[in-house]
Structure 1
């Protein structure tokens, strides 16, 4: 992207040119201030010295800095010129401002170089006879060009020629930019998408590999056969996005990176890499034009995907809520989406961890990112699955079967559909957790019983939601819970009157009801561990890291609150049911 900057000679005219933006470094190795990419509006100090007005000028120091770019000119006619200088300036002077203290030239070179100026040009003999040796040595050390100007050339000639050369180069660059833009636009008008735009940019850049990287680090399109190398570059860019356009990859290789943006939306980066150095001017120009068109194609695809996603969510919502008025139409829609809803299937409900004080839009974006990552993780493991966001959950219609053809999950034949689905989702959840491209991790996934027809989906939806809720209450990150594995919880979850269930919970647990009193939370945990140890006091004490007598004391407190559960089986049954209800109902 280019921005307008000014050439502002003191007392002279102001000329507008374009300056390409560059700033701080990144994890990728970036060039120094004077070895960055050459903006279209600049010419090098070496090119300046080839102009007719400066052919008799002499370079007396800083020869290693001839590659520095001149994008502005300034005339020094006051001693305190530093507040008015800018980066990439060629500063001209007769020495008049320094006639009283020529030794100050030594410090001036360092000050000008620190501010990123391109070079310093001076006329001698009129006000200053010679340049200090220390100044020249410092200029050589810094690679800061110092030029002796001929007496017979006026500053107006130098200003005119250099600015004309800069503007001519800019005009040529703009013409080239327009040609590139037309070529890339033609690709889109011919029906091309992001892949074709990336390929066109690679063609225009000759031997460069071009890759489009999403804002979360996913590779959206690539022309490189070395997918591993491109993935590595994508990870580097995602980890610490370079704020400069050119980065060094080591071994002489170079990469140019530009942002893909559309208004306030950041869609990622377009990166071009090649094993040798590349002409940064042309590369940046081509990539910037390609990035603008890529943003258009991405925005268009997102708009289409948003509409399609809404239709998918509406269809699944109708299915799980039992609205089957036009079944044939719904089956046609499902087939068009690539879903297999006529085979045996299980329905899964996945909850996603929420962020405190999260806005509804941000929450929805998190769910959509998770659904996309979940969908990508399923690809290659099973075909015909539907993954959509409904309300505040991610629903998956997962085809299952008993044969190798019906169950392409890779978990083997002979397993029940629900068990096979649980195995698959455990694998998928782990992959999403490791490589989710910005998607939040799953909190809990519930799996319904296998169903044979669409009419059974409402019941399956209720089962999966209940299983997901129980898994969430158990506070096991990424838990996969099937409805059939709930045991007694399955029966408790079928009781519709939650008020009656909470009343029972309060009657049995009293002050130990979760959320009623924080001081009793330790006692509730002690009760759970004791029951899991089959009332074996010594075993429970070891699990809790308590002294045996400490646990006996706690048991006494528990029995005063709950009744003689250690000796009365009916009291113990009520307590165990109440603890299971906590998993079903959650805190009050």
Structure 2
């Protein structure tokens, strides 16, 4: 980095120190020339301010000018006393009072020469920082190492953060302190950003952009390694995606993936407008919300139900999942993209029940598709067996069965609501009457009337199951 003392030591400038000898380690971000009595609106941190003191007329003029430099956290003031008979004493006093280094510019030295020398020094330092960063990356290009190198060059802590808010890597422990952000390149469904805890100078911006490029390359390499590692599970994921896959084929795929019969597994299915995006989003959801032992994630090509593709995941882990995992995933993933994101989860089950967990995930994602949210996540556990069974039936079949069982009941809204509440209350007349705010005899009359319309006995358990399923299918 370019420091005030670096510029003071440039032999061609012949600058002379008047105040702030203990402040020469301040970093210089750029040079700014001004003759305004109050330049505060144009100043920024780290600037090396150059002035011919045309604004100075009498003692007392210096304090507001220097105070503005101090409040903007400028690096130093270089002043020429050619038009004032030397550096005014009140300027020296103001710089000492407000802790601004004061350097005198020789009367015979033009500001153009100073500006050129400072710009060259800043450019050389930026080029040097970029070269050092590239050289260090050649030795160790891992994300933690890159951020450590970058933090040293930028003089500030750095983080790589996913668009979901997840911290991917950091140069220091703790949450990100965002003062500058640089996007990490690449086409991804889950973009990354480089967060820097500093206001970046033009040179610092270039170094940060170089660091972001290196982070993007590291991400690409990591993705390639991950895809190569996932190749062993491709037959397993394809078997889950193919309803026609035989039990023997699935067993061979399980064995090839290295899953043992006693392992606990979960199956997830994601559908988005792109298969690659589905895999990346599903991977992000798993990374953010579960402490997992082994995860196999991969996309399966071909259009499915109006989307470009789908991605499957098999998770082998005994670690408990949060009860509200689906809600958390919906909240976090809602910041990604603009198309619909649907995720269904099946399990947990043993490896022997893997196909069942896959079917559960398939039905859960269909239930997610019926929700209004752009990002919808459904779990087979939360849906209940009857909804899973209904989700697996074609829409035409569900409508036909509902119409056959419910008959004319939908034409009587009060009776329809009464039957629904009655069944939701486990066929308890007293509980249903309380929910509907009616007398229990009124409730019994309505149930009897509904039974007459349907030609069935609504106190019979099997009939209750049929009607409840029909009501669920209709909704």
Instruction: Report the TM range for the smaller structure's normalisation.
Output: 0.5 to 0.7
Where do residues 144-543 of structure 1 align in structure 2 (5 Å cutoff)?
Answer: 144-147=100-103, 153-156=107-110, 160=113, 163-164=116-117, 167-168=120-121, 170-171=123-124, 174-175=127-128, 177-185=130-138, 187=140, 194=143, 198=146, 201=149, 214=162, 216=164, 218=166, 220=168, 230=173, 233=174, 236-237=175-176, 242-244=178-180, 261-263=184-186, 266-269=191-194, 291-303=212-224, 305=226, 316-323=237-244, 335=255, 337-339=257-259, 343=261, 350=268, 360-361=273-274, 365=277, 368-371=280-283, 373-374=285-286, 377=290, 379-380=292-293, 388=298, 391=304, 395=312, 409=318, 427-428=320-321, 430=323, 432=325, 438-439=332-333, 445-447=345-347, 457=355, 462=359, 465-466=362-363, 479-481=379-381, 486=385, 497-507=397-407, 509-511=409-411, 520=413, 526-542=418-434
Change over 3 Å in CA distance of 1:186–1:284 after alignment to 2: farther
| Number of residue pairs matched by the alignment | 447
Gaps of 5+ in 2: 335-340
What is the match of residue 579 of structure 1? Answer: 468
Change over 3 Å in CA distance of 1:300–1:125 after alignment to 2: closer
Gaps of 5+ in 1: 1-39, 224-228, 245-257, 273-279, 400-407, 410-423, 513-519
- Is contact 2:230-2:296 (8 Å) kept? no
Question: Deviations along 1:289-334, whole A, 9 cap, x unmatched?
Answer: 6653332131133256468769956753445535559977x87765
- Is contact 1:429-1:478 (8 Å) kept? no
Q: 1: distance between equivalents of 2:315 and 2:36? A: 78
Change over 3 Å in CA distance of 1:66–1:482 after alignment to 2: closer
- 1:198 deviates by 4.8
Change over 3 Å in CA distance of 1:445–1:463 after alignment to 2: closer
Question: Deviations along 1:188-211, whole A, 9 cap, x unmatched?
Answer: 6xxxx557x559949999xx9998
Change over 3 Å in CA distance of 1:511–1:143 after alignment to 2: farther
What is the match of residue 48 of structure 2? Answer: 89
- Is contact 1:74-1:90 (8 Å) kept? yes
User: How does the TM-score come out when normalised to structure 2?
Assistant: 0.64
Q: 2: distance between equivalents of 1:373 and 1:108? A: 53
- 1:445 deviates by 3.7
What is the match of residue 143 of structure 1? Answer: 99
- 1:81 deviates by 8.7
Aligned partner of residue 192 in structure 2, secondary structure: strand
| 1:109 aligns with one of 66, 76, 82 | 66
Aligned partner of residue 379 in structure 1, secondary structure: coil
- Is contact 2:37-2:56 (8 Å) kept? no
- 1:350 deviates by 4.6
Q: 2: distance between equivalents of 1:396 and 1:317? A: 11
Change over 3 Å in CA distance of 1:526–1:172 after alignment to 2: same
- Is contact 1:57-1:149 (8 Å) kept? yes
Q: 2: distance between equivalents of 1:393 and 1:106? A: 67
Q: 2: distance between equivalents of 1:126 and 1:466? A: 84
Aligned partner of residue 381 in structure 2, secondary structure: strand
- 1:558 deviates by 6.2
- 1:577 deviates by 1.6
Aligned partner of residue 428 in structure 1, secondary structure: coil
Change over 3 Å in CA distance of 1:346–1:577 after alignment to 2: farther
- Is contact 1:73-1:90 (8 Å) kept? yes
Aligned partner of residue 497 in structure 1, secondary structure: helix
- 1:501 deviates by 0.8
- 1:93 deviates by 0.9
- Is contact 1:530-1:540 (8 Å) kept? yes
- Is contact 2:269-2:344 (8 Å) kept? yes
Q: 1: distance between equivalents of 2:445 and 2:234? A: 54
Q: 2: distance between equivalents of 1:264 and 1:449? A: 35
Aligned partner of residue 407 in structure 2, secondary structure: helix
- Is contact 2:143-2:169 (8 Å) kept? yes
Change over 3 Å in CA distance of 1:174–1:344 after alignment to 2: closer
- Is contact 2:342-2:377 (8 Å) kept? yes
Change over 3 Å in CA distance of 1:432–1:368 after alignment to 2: farther
- 1:242 deviates by 1.5
- Is contact 1:102-1:128 (8 Å) kept? no
Q: 1: distance between equivalents of 2:407 and 2:417? A: 18
